[in-house]
Amino acid sequence: MNTAATTTTDEHADSHDHGHHDSRLAHHFDSHQQQFDTGKLGIWLFLVTEILFFSGLFGFYAVYRSLHPEVFLYASQFLDTVLGAANTVVLLFSSLTMAWGVRCAQLGQTRGLLVCLVITLACAAIFLGVKSFEYTEKAHHGLLWAGMYQSPEHHAEAAVPAAAGAEATAGHDAGDHAHASADDHSDESLFEKTKHTLSYMTTVLWAVIVLAGIAFAVFIKKPGKLTQATIAGCFLISAVGMVLGTYASIGYHHFGHAEKPTDQEILMAETVPAEYAAQKEKVPEPELAGTFFSVYFCMTGLHAIHIIGGMIAISWLIVRTAHGAFTTYYFGAVDFVGLYWHLVDLIWIYLFPLLYLIN
- Site residues (CB under 8 A) for other proteins, limited to 180-199: none
98 near other proteins, rule: CB under 8 A: yes
Cα Rg for the chain, rounded, in angstroms?
25
What part of residues 17-46 is at the interface with other proteins (CB under 8 A)? Answer: 18-19, 21-22, 25-28, 31-34, 36-38, 40-42, 44-46
Residue of 338, 117, 127 whose CA lies nearest to 234: 117
Residue of 311, 317, 307 whose CA lies nearest to 344: 307
Among 77, 109, 110, 151, which residue interacts with other proteins (rule: CB under 8 A)? 151
Among 179, 320, 323, 342, which residue interacts with other proteins (rule: CB under 8 A)? 342
**Helices assigned H by DSSP within 4-150:** 8-11, 32-67, 69-75, 81-107, 110-140
| Residue 344 CB partners (closer than 8 Å, separation 6+) | 91, 303, 306, 307, 310
What is the distance between the alpha carbons of residues 245 and 256, in angstroms, rounded to a whole number? 16
Burial category of 4 from C-beta neighbours within 10 Å (exposed 0-12, middle 13-18, buried 19 and up): exposed
Least separation in angstroms between residue 322's CB and other proteins is 21
The amino acid that residue 245 corresponds to is G
What is the distance between the alpha carbons of residues 182 and 309, in angstroms, rounded to a whole number? 40
Name the one range near other proteins by CB under 8 A: 99-107, 130-138, 178-186, 223-231.
99-107
Among 67, 220, 236, 283, which residue interacts with other proteins (rule: CB under 8 A)? 67
Residue of 260, 298, 291, 244 whose CA lies nearest to 135: 298
Neighbouring CB atoms inside 10 A of 150's CB total 22
What does the DSSP assignment read for 237-251? HHHHHHHHHHHHHHH
Least separation in angstroms between residue 225's CB and other proteins is 26
What part of residues 237-296 is at the interface with other proteins (CB under 8 A)? Answer: 285-291, 294
300 near other proteins, rule: CB under 8 A: no
Q: Based on CB atoms, which residue is closest to other proteins, 118 or 243?
A: 118
226 near other proteins, rule: CB under 8 A: no
Least separation in angstroms between residue 3's CB and other proteins is 6
Residue of 38, 20, 8 whose CA lies nearest to 333: 38
What part of residues 101-120 is at the interface with other proteins (CB under 8 A)? Answer: 103, 106-107
15 near other proteins, rule: CB under 8 A: yes
Name the one range near other proteins by CB under 8 A: 131-139, 195-203, 269-277, 321-329.
321-329
Name the one range near other proteins by CB under 8 A: 118-126, 275-283, 315-323, 335-343.
335-343
149 near other proteins, rule: CB under 8 A: yes
